[in-house]
Amino acid sequence: METGLINLVDNLLFIFRRLNWLSLVDLSLVALIFFAILHLLRETHAMVLLRGVLVLVVLGSLLRSLDVLPAFSWLVQTTLPALVLAIPVIFAPEIRRALEQLGRAGSLGVAAKSPVDSQLNISALVTAALKLSDRRHGALIVIRRQDNLEEYIQTGVSLDARVTAELLLQVFYPNTPLHDGAVIIGGPKLIAAACVMPLSASGVLARSPERQMGLRHRAALGISEVTDAIVVVVSEETGVISIVHGGRMIRRLDGDRLENILHTFFTPTVGKGGFGAWLKHRLPKVSLKNREGGS
């Protein structure tokens, strides 16, 4: 026991003696990459898959180290390379999302889009959400920011109309042709209605203690996971107003909180663009997380 402890201490001292500033930078980069991966996979089904993969790798390594199991050691050595090749397939959605976020961040020197979406008629949207909530009329309102939503606009009915509370109330009136699906708003215009949104596979709603959230909320989370859009949801069953961004949801909003959050996201940006503009567009997300923690 003492000999093993002495050997462990000697090995640690040997490692620390070889450390220099370049080694610290190297270790910091590796730690940063692992942190980014874990942060990206947080609260997703992929995290469960990752835990399963890690358990298999650890158990396989331990059992392979036993010389009394040659057949099992051969099986592990044969299947591990296939598991490495399967990882990109298993984590394809998360890898795509990470590359999209990297693409937004990497637009150095590229002029940002004109902040036309800052012309959003927030008062009309808040008024409509409150009335829809009172009447228990379900609604899914997607508000475009920097990302292009053309592929989702094509799934709906083009309107290209000025955003008013009356128009939103009419669109989401039960049993009308356009009430199913989402409306997409870009700046002062209601671009399209009855649009089909991707459903979230993150499992956030499955862990929620409340079961009133159905397809409408899954669609809100889904579009927020693949784009930077802001989504306002009104529950048909409870009338609860929620706002969704970046795969996170804040529920039970009143008119003042909803208006304040929308103003946070759609304040006109100052500057030419590039990385600084991207950072400014990401800052409201941090604010949203802080609000969520306090609710």
pTM for the model: 0.62
Whether the per-residue pLDDT at 26 is higher than 70: the answer is yes
What tokens appear for 220 in the block?
């809100």
Helix axes 70-90, 45-64, angle to 10 degrees: 160
Question: pLDDT tens digits, residue range 154-169?
Answer: 999 999 999 999 999 9
Question: Which residues partner with 245 through β-bridges?
Answer: 248
Measure the N-to-C terminal CA separation of the chain; round to a whole number of Å: 52
Domains of the chain with CATH codes:
2-105 (no CATH), 116-294 (3.40.1700.10)
pLDDT band, residue 276 (cuts 50/70/90): very low
Question: Angle at CA 213, nearest 5°, toward 207 and 216?
Answer: 125
Residues 6+ apart with CB under 8 A from 150: none
User: Which residues share a beta bridge with 277?
Assistant: none
